[in-house]
Amino acid sequence: MASRTASKDIITLRGSAAIVSEFFGYAANSILYNRGVYPEESFAKVKKYGLPMLLSQDEGVKSFISSLTSQLSEWLEAGKLQRIVLVIMSKASGEVLERWNFNIETDSEVVVKGVAREKSDKEIMREIQAIMRQVASSITYLPCLDEPCVFDVLAYTDKDVAVPFTWIESDAKLIKNPQMVKLHSFDTKIHKVDTLVSYKNDEWDEE
Amino acid sequence: MSEQQCPGSVPPSMDPEAEFMASEQQTANDWELFKENIRPLKRGRNVQLLNHALRSHSQPSLKRSLLHTRRRFIDAIDEYEGEDPLQPWLDCIKWVQESFPTGGECSGLLVIYEQCVRTFWHDERYKDDLRYLKVWMEYAENCSDAEVIYRFLEANEIGQSHSIYYCTYALLMESKNKLKKADEIFNLGIARKAKPLEKLEADYRKFLARSTRKKNIEDESVELENHMPVRSFGTVLAAAGVRNHAAENSDIPRKRMKLQRLDTNRPLSIYSERSTEGNSKPEVMRNNERAWHTLANQVDRNKENTSVPSKWTSYKVPQKIASRTVLPTPSTRIEVFVDEECAGLPPVEEVKSVDPSILQLRQGNSVNLKRETELLKENPLRNFPLNHLR
């Protein structure tokens, strides 16, 4: 076998932004699939990160996510994106049931000076794989989403970012007294992404 | 569609998620390592408790403290003097679910469910209580055939004002392919204006869509069906009615049925050569099973666990003539290994009492709990007076 110390690959700001926004696209699809927001049959399997990943074939979802990821890429390259949250809400009541947080820390030196970093691509892929696996296994503790749900995406950016055309300003859509679970993180050496899922505790006396 | 957080309105203090994210706290990943051992709960779990529980089960010292806490919860039930005696039961159940993630027989979960429902079934103030109904329904989920429980609830007018009763009952009937009955149940719930009515009506519409689709497919494939002998391997029994489903739009009931298909509560039907005399349809197999269970009594079923060691007479070991070792005297007995958890407990008294309020849980050791759990799974209403069963 080849030696464990894999050769490092050069990572640029643009490349890192692409990795992170692509990750978010796949993560969002995985969440929508695993939480049953869209029916299973509307997803197709592809190979990514060494895992069978599911992508929605619904046109609405596809176009939403692809325009989303290109916007994220832009913000990431400018180093302006702080957090991305995928919110799952009850279709009937609009109540927020789950929030999937992706926190982003950007190496500002890279943004300012335009330097590149080094890290093995394989290593990054392994880290992303670990997160994806956790997302899929999280049914062990997440409450069953019994009702039809819808999703939305919130982006937390720096103050000086102008609101793009297809986005609107919003409140935080937080969950009251949430249960929170930290998942694994991944790091491209330019952007570090931490994952956290917060969910509502289902109680005995709720319909 | 997309929304962006307004930069100006971010409060100076971080929201709880950002705080947690920034904090040094890590969520342990025991839950991921042991994910196959965790029974998902509809209500979700507290991950910190879950991780702690998983760790406890692999360390005997922590396990003892777990048993102590359980006894405390049971004492709390006995000592409660307030207006809502159901509450300490709910606290206890919730704790047991969190602390015994596998939910298996040694958790005593089934026994607690059963004692809880038996304590209050004649209590007027809980007849319409949603929490009480949920305890019944969680109990039903764990039994091999929940239908008898739903019929009992109807006969005793428990939980009849809640949609969730009708939805779940109808889903159960649908999974058994008793579509006409499922339809009746939905209509009954709607006629009684169960709450929340919108959910009941929505589920009913989905059910109708599924059953008309199924009927169309069945009409086409009914010829094929009759000619092929059916070999059922346990889990197919539950899914007999679901097999013909084409792609569904509503995946939620299907997901639930999927869970039922993987349900370990249903005893595996073991393929027996002798029973297939040309007629191997699922119904016949199931009848055989039921017949088998009523024939054998408790003693028979438990014979592997309770048989007394006897002299080994079937084989002869050739003995060396030369030397003769002194045989141990019959009075020397081998010391039986006792699990630490049982060592501290007092000997169990097999008092079969008529009073349903006596908690046998406190005196229970793991053997008793296991036996009781098995019995309850098969016959959830076995401790109830017969004249109230229909």
pLDDT tens string B329-340: 455 566 666 665
Looking at residue B48, its pLDDT comes to 81
Q: Is A4 exposed, middle or buried (0-12, 13-18, 19+ CB in 10 A)?
A: exposed
Vertex B35 angle, CA B27 and B71, to 5°: 80
CB B159 within 8 A of CB B133: yes
CB A90 within 8 A of CB A97: yes
Q: Enter the tokens of residue A46.
A: 């592809």
- Select the residue of B1, B35, B196 nearest A140 (Cβ to Cβ): B35
Put simply, whether B2 touches A (Cβ < 8 Å) is yes
Pairwise CA distance, residues A72 & A88, whole Å? 19
CB B185 within 8 A of CB B173: yes
Looking at residue A151, its pLDDT comes to 94
Q: Of B194 and B297, which is predicted with more confidence? A: B194
Put simply, whether B63 touches A (Cβ < 8 Å) is no
Which residue of chain A has the CA closest to B86? Answer: A204
Contact B90 A204 (CB under 8 A): yes
Confidence of residue B351 (pLDDT cuts 50, 70, 90): very low
Most distant CA atoms of chain B, gap in Å: 98
CB B269 within 8 A of CB B232: yes
* Beta carbons within 8 Å of B131's beta carbon, 6+ residues apart: A204, A205, B86, B90
Give the least confident one: A144-153, A161-170, B38-47, B114-123: B38-47
- Select the residue of B15, B94, B162 nearest A172 (Cβ to Cβ): B15
**Percent of chain B surpassing pLDDT 90:** 12
Q: Enter the tokens of residue B105.
A: 């027989």
Q: Does position A75 have pLDDT exceeding 60, yes or no?
A: yes
Vertex B370 angle, CA B259 and B236, to 5°: 30
Pairwise CA distance, residues A54 & A32, whole Å? 9
Full-model pTM? 0.64
Compute the average pLDDT of residues B195-215. 87
Looking at residue B109, its pLDDT comes to 84
> Among residues 228-247 of chain B, which lie with CB inside 8 Å of chain A?
247
Q: Does position A202 have pLDDT exceeding 80, yes or no?
A: no
CA dist B265 to A184, B106, B150, B284, Å?
Answer: 34, 15, 17, 20
Which residue of chain A has the CA closest to B15? Answer: A174
Q: Does position B287 have pLDDT exceeding 50, yes or no?
A: no
Cβ contacts (< 8 Å) between A199 and chain B: which residues?
A: 44
Looking at residue A104, its pLDDT comes to 94
Q: Of A206 and A164, which is predicted with more confidence? A: A164
Put simply, whether B193 touches A (Cβ < 8 Å) is no
DSSP label at residue B220: H
CB A11 within 8 A of CB A174: no
Would strands A167-170 and B2-5 be described as parallel, antiparallel, or unpaired? parallel
The 10s digit of each residue's pLDDT in B146-191 is 899 999 999 989 989 999 999 999 999 998 889 999 999 999 999 9
Looking at residue B301, its pLDDT comes to 56
- Select the residue of A157, A158, A196 nearest B21 (Cβ to Cβ): A196
Mean pLDDT, chain B, integer: 70
Residue of B1, B14, B136, B164 for testing the chain A interface, max A β-carbons within 10 Å: B1
Q: Of B102 and A74, which is predicted with more confidence? A: A74
Q: Does position B255 have pLDDT exceeding 50, yes or no?
A: no
The count of residues in chain A is: 207
Q: Does position B325 have pLDDT exceeding 60, yes or no?
A: no
Contact A36 B15 (CB under 8 A): no
Looking at residue B99, its pLDDT comes to 81
Strand ranges, E, within chain A = 9-11, 43-48, 51-56, 81-90, 96-106, 117-119, 149-157, 167-170, 179-187, 191-199
CB B136 within 8 A of CB B380: no
> Among residues 1-60 of chain A, which lie with CB inside 8 Å of chain B?
36, 39-41
Q: Of B28 and A10, which is predicted with more confidence? A: A10
Pairwise CA distance, residues B379 & B349, whole Å? 23
Contact B4 A36 (CB under 8 A): no
Cβ contacts (< 8 Å) between A141 and chain B: which residues?
A: 31, 38, 40, 44-47, 50
Confidence of residue B362 (pLDDT cuts 50, 70, 90): very low
User: Crossing angle of helices A13-34/A59-77, nearest 10°?
Assistant: 150
H helices within A91-165, ranges in order? 108-113, 121-137
Q: Enter the tokens of residue B21.
A: 């994210």
Confidence of residue B142 (pLDDT cuts 50, 70, 90): confident
Cβ contacts (< 8 Å) between A21 and chain B: which residues?
A: none
Q: Does position B76 have pLDDT exceeding 60, yes or no?
A: yes
Q: Does position A134 have pLDDT exceeding 80, yes or no?
A: yes
Q: Does position B233 have pLDDT exceeding 60, yes or no?
A: no
| Beta carbons within 10 angstroms of residue A16's beta carbon | 25
> What ipTM did this prediction achieve?
0.74
Contact B16 A174 (CB under 8 A): yes
Determine which helix (DSSP H) or strand (DSSP E) holds B66, and give its type and residue range: helix B60-79
Compute the average pLDDT of residues B350-361. 43
Contact B35 A174 (CB under 8 A): no
Mean pLDDT, chain A, integer: 89
Pairwise CA distance, residues A42 & A65, whole Å? 15
Contact B251 A39 (CB under 8 A): yes
Give the least confident one: A51-60, A121-130, B238-247: B238-247
CB B5 within 8 A of CB B17: no
Would strands A149-157 and B2-5 be described as parallel, antiparallel, or unpaired? parallel
